[in-house]
Amino acid sequence: MRDVYIVSAVRTPGCRRARGAFSQTRPENLLVQALHGAVGRIKLDPAAIDDLMVGCAFPEAEQGLNIGRVAAQMAGFPDSVSGATVNRFCASGLESIAISSLKVANGWCDVAMAAGLESMSIVPMGGNMPRPHPEWAKEHPDVYVSMGITAENVAKRYNVTRQDQDEFAYNSHLKAAEAQKNKLFTEIIPTNADKYEELKDGTIKRSTFVQDFDDGVRADTTVEGLGKLRPAFAATGSVTAGNSSQTTDGAAASILMSEEAVKKYGVKPLVKFKLYAVAGCKADEMGVGPAYAVPKLLKLAGLKAEDIGLWELNEAFASQAIYCARQIGIADKKYWAADSKEKRINISGGAIALGHPLGCTGSKLAATMVANMVRLGVKYGVESMCIGGGMGAAALFELC
């Protein structure tokens, strides 16, 4: 097996569903710009790319028709660059990187591209026409249950209090705001966004503007303010809009190479993509997935949790992120508090502040992970996320 190097990793900003900067921008346009950004950073001729894998949680409507191939063609890549669409729900973007890495590692190709995409403004969560199997749904409704209810189940079953969740959410916004202030999101590419408005004569005017920051970060968030929010999924629950991830639009892309390709194209390797692991869990508490996937990953790597310098533990909900951190052994507040000098978890904020554009998130977090590992000189980083239907995924990155 050959070593696999990530040589470029970028993302668009993450912008709020319906109210954010990308709410009227077609998903293909977001993805094309991410693809251009990834090749542009290393001045790579797209003709060198063998294949493109695009993660998307709901690949239908504007995100349908094999957007992996469509986007490559819209980006102006030569016909020789093939494309496919990957779906592992919330981990689709990370799955695209894992599949691409296997191709490079096995010598099936030398240059692969992996991406993630989701426009939650244009293609709704659950899709436009969900059709659960009627008999199966009666026997196992947990498979189709709302993600918010699974977060409530985790909070209740594993004693994650409302105060725990709100404090974790507060720190997510603080870390994200600090990262924005210090211009640490170097993986972001300025992205063109569309806006449509009806004029007095009834015609529609289309205008374009540039978006270069995540627009869901609330620097003025307080624990007290979060505490006033009503439960979002259960009348007596503890999961609120404030301690849950934001529904978001965005795209991200990475380029992976073999050592031979790194030398041939004269690019600088950033990190090695070392390992990937997935694991299943109960569907009605899908958020605990990382608690199973991360130990599996670390065992494969021969590492312990204390060996990992940075974690991107996706904040689908504060309840599940907290529980998973406890199980992994990294729940001490010093690892995630904004004012801690020892923080390792989501050091630039997480999905509660920055958003969770479903199929994009795995690719988006990888771009953030790579940027932070390079900036801080951290040897090992782990990205992990829970997945709808009851799964977890985890990936190991090693600094070059």
From residue 11, alpha-carbon distances to 33, 61, 245 in Å are 9, 22, 18
Say which of 15, 173, 324, 356 is annotated catalytic: 356
386: annotated active-site residue: yes
Say which of 56, 281, 360, 386 is annotated catalytic: 386
Amino acid 325 reads A
140: annotated active-site residue: no
- Domain membership of residue 227 (yes or no) is no
Neighbours of 13 (CB within 10 A): 27
- Domain membership of residue 68 (yes or no) is yes
Q: What is the pLDDT of residue 92?
A: 98
- Domain membership of residue 240 (yes or no) is no
Could you list the residue range(s) of the whole structural domain that residue 9 is in? 5-124+245-399
Say which of 15, 90, 281, 324 is annotated catalytic: 90
- The Cα 13–Cα 216 span in angstroms is 10
CATH, residue 106:
3.40.47.10
Q: What is the pLDDT of residue 370?
A: 98
- Domain membership of residue 160 (yes or no) is no
* 400 residues of the chain, pLDDT tens digit each: 999 999 999 999 999 999 999 999 999 999 999 999 999 999 999 999 999 999 999 999 999 999 999 999 999 999 999 999 999 999 999 999 999 999 999 999 999 999 999 999 999 999 999 999 999 999 998 889 999 999 999 999 999 999 999 999 999 999 999 999 999 999 999 999 999 999 999 999 999 999 999 999 999 999 999 999 999 999 999 999 999 999 999 999 999 999 999 999 999 999 999 999 999 999 999 999 999 999 999 999 999 999 999 999 999 999 999 999 999 999 999 999 999 999 999 999 999 999 999 999 999 999 999 999 999 999 999 999 999 999 999 999 999 9
Q: What is the pLDDT of residue 143?
A: 87
- Domain membership of residue 162 (yes or no) is no
How many distinct structural domains can be found in the chain? Answer: 1
- Domain membership of residue 277 (yes or no) is yes
Residue count of the chain, please give it.
400
173: annotated active-site residue: no
Output the CA torsion sign for 2, 391, 156, 321: positive
- Domain membership of residue 233 (yes or no) is no
Global pTM exceeds 0.75? yes
- Domain membership of residue 191 (yes or no) is no
